[in-house]
Amino acid sequence: MRKILQGTGVLVLLIGVSGAIDHLWYQPFFGVVLNSFNRFVIPNVALLSEYALFANLAVAVVGAVTVLAAEALAPHRRH
């Protein structure tokens, strides 16, 4: 379960960073997947469209927090 949460967190982190890059410039790599939030969600929500860069960075922070929380909640092995 921890690996699934970490993988999801990494994907959300990449989506947020890629959306921020796409908002500032052009992001050609995996545009359909990584820019999905930036291209499909933000234009349809009025509040987010005004603050698109911050919304993408917030998505990246949520992804990073998910990865860190999954790591912190995992049982640690003793060597």
- Strand segments (E) across 1-79: none
pTM, two decimal places? 0.83
18-53 as b/e, with b when 16 or more CB fall inside 10 Å? bbbbbbeeebeeeeeebbebbeebbeeeeebeeebe
- Give residue for tokens 């939030």: 37
Domain assignment present for 79: no
CA distance 58 to 41: 14
Low-confidence ranges of the chain (pLDDT < 70): 27, 77-79
Count of structural domains within the chain: 1
* pLDDT for the residue numbered 66: 96
Domain assignment present for 78: no
CA distance 20 to 16: 6
Domain assignment present for 29: yes
Domain assignment present for 67: yes
Tens-place pLDDT, residues 14-33: 999 998 888 888 767 777 77
Whether 20 and 53 have beta carbons less than 8 Å apart is answered as: yes
